[in-house]
Structure 1
Amino acid sequence: MSAPALGAPLLELHGVTRSVHIPDREPLHILQGIDLSISTGDHVSIQGRSGSGKSTLLNILGLLDVPTTGELYFDGRPVSSMGEKQRAVSRGAQVGFIFQQFNLLPGRTALENVMTPLLYARGTQFWQRERLAARMLERVGLGDRLREKPHKLSGGEQQRIAIARALVRSPRLILADEPTGALDIDTGQRVMALLDEVALESGAALVTITHDANVAALAQRHYRLGDGILNAPELAA
């Protein structure tokens, strides 16, 4: 598959830092001067060991957190000018999260879990939420498991539900935190191919946070994060 043409910048980080103040101790500096630009149609991976700041950076990219200093621009707008409610609205409409912990609703079926983001949609997406959710579950290979609840599914199946839920609203930004962590190698490759396919179809930006060098290498640009510092990108061959 050829690389898609990149569009306008969707995310821009300029000198972003994130620190946590701890009583009676020096501040903990998690991110240090991050500069990064991610455009629509982009696929970027960020690789780093546990404790390197990957999850903190993901939370900032997904508007769950804000920088201590520096500026994040989302679709050209400085996030510092948004209130918490405005960030939540933009996040719900434009960002799809694939969390390592799945975060599924235990009492709901696979179909109901994937439908959840569409309950906040408008127009066609809201009225056709069941059909859209069923179609996305079919795409991740779970078309025969629509009525099953998470406790009856394997870890890999639960992760595919989480992926379907993240993609069902066709977000402009897909943030995947260890998206293949609970999958075998073959299923993991299919999932990454699906993420790339959906991102390409919709023109979305895809950011993969991972410790897996094989997953990271699938991106167009591959960054390494260590001690809160983002190294220069390695380009795909």
Structure 2
Amino acid sequence: MAFLRLEGVTRTVELPDGARLDILRGVDLEVDVGEHVSIVGRSGSGKSTLLNILGLIDTPTSGRLEFDGVPLEKLRMGARDRRRGRDVGFIFQQFNLLPRRTALENVMTPLLYASGRQFWRRQRLATEMLERVGLGARLSSTPDRLSGGEQQRVAIARALVRGPRLILADEPTGALDVETGASVMALLDGVAEATGAALITITHDPNIAALARRHYRLDQGVLSPVAAVAIAQFASEGVTL
């Protein structure tokens, strides 16, 4: 059984004039533990809406969303928030670090909402995660003293410090140069594989998408598989998806 499963997921909103806008149209997706999947799509294709549903921020209009065979599409808000905090880690294009807090304090932030051993060991856990992403010497540095690549590494450490089972990376290298972006993705892929987390990268960049094992394209709310060779060709031609 797949760790994450979407079946027939739709998302429809009503416009001010009473018309209905179909953002997602019957999305099917399965992701296994430790698997890296990429979803590419242009602006307005529904990527953000799909991300919000995968991350338990939003709920589908219809269809099923399952983690470990457990349906989550109708969870109440409190239960959804707890599940998201425990099982989902987010990495965004904008690093969203607290500007006056050190790298260590930024990574400790999610653990303030943890319980038991995670809460009481929060400084040690945050330190270990920063060391894991190569920033053991920058624990006391604030974001303004870190490079873009280092800030993204802090953001990755913050997303992973609670040991999420699902990592959602939304344009994770969009604010980085090509070389730094490739380094950050290699790090993210390696850590996700080592921890057994499922990784979903949502991007318009075929070079980043090509790093995944399976590839999908979202177009006008419809999710379709894309062959690896097609992604590689898009990347070689410099096509933006």
Alignment partner of 2:134: what SS? coil
Q: Residue in 1 aligned with 2:110?
A: 117
Q: Tell me how far apart the structure 2 counterparts of residues 191 and 53 of structure 1 sit (CA, whole Å).
A: 25
TM-score, with structure 1 as normaliser: 0.90
Greater mean alpha carbon deviation, residues 225-234 or residues 211-220: 225-234
Deviation of 1:49 after TM superposition, in Å, equals 1.0
**TM-score scaled by length of structure 2:** 0.88
Structure 1 segments (4+ residues) deviating >4 Å: none
1:101-116 equivalent positions in 2, closer than 5 A: 101-116=94-109
2:135 aligned partner, one-letter code: L
Match of 2:200 among 183, 199, 207: 207
- Contact persistence 1:159–1:182 (CA under 8 A): no
SS of the counterpart of 2:225? coil
Asked if 1:157 corresponds to 2:150, the answer is yes
Q: Which aligned pairs between 1:46-65 and structure 2 lie closer than 5 A?
A: 46-65=39-58
Shift of 1:93: 0.5
Does residue 1:217 correspond to 2:229, yes or no?
no
**2:9 counterpart letter in structure 1:** V
CA distance in 2, matches of 1:200, 1:152: 30
Structure 2 residue corresponding to 1:170, chosen from 157, 163, 176: 163
1:9 counterpart = 2:34: no
- AA at the equivalent of 1:40: V
Report the secondary structure of 2:58's partner residue: coil
Question: Take 1:223 and 1:210, find their aligned partners in 2: how far apart are those partners?
Answer: 10
Letter in 2 for 1:57: L
Matched, 1:194 2:199: no
Please list the CA deviations of residues 107-140 of structure 1 after superposition, one character each: whole Å capped at 9, or x if unmatched: 3211111011112223332222112212222333
Which ranges of structure 1 fall in alignment gaps of 5 or more residues?
A: 1-7
Give the alignment's Cα RMSD to 1 decimal: 1.8
Q: Check whether the contact 2:52–2:58 (CA below 8 A) recurs between aligned residues.
A: yes
Deviation for aligned residue 1:98:
0.5
- Aligned residue in 1 for 2:125: 132
Shift of 1:235: 4.7
Is the 1:52–1:228 Cα contact (8 Å) retained in structure 2?
yes
Letter in 2 for 1:144: A
- Quote how far apart the aligned CAs of 1:25 are: 4.3
Counterpart code for 1:221 = R
What is the CA–CA distance in structure 2 between the aligned matches of 1:25 and 1:104, rounded to whole Å? 39
Sequence identity percentage: 67
Contact 1:11 1:73 in 2 (8 A): yes
Where do 5+ consecutive residues of structure 2 fail to align? 233-241
Match of 2:167, SS state, is strand
SS at match of 1:12: strand
Correspondences of 1:89-100 after superposition (within 5 Å): 89-100=82-93
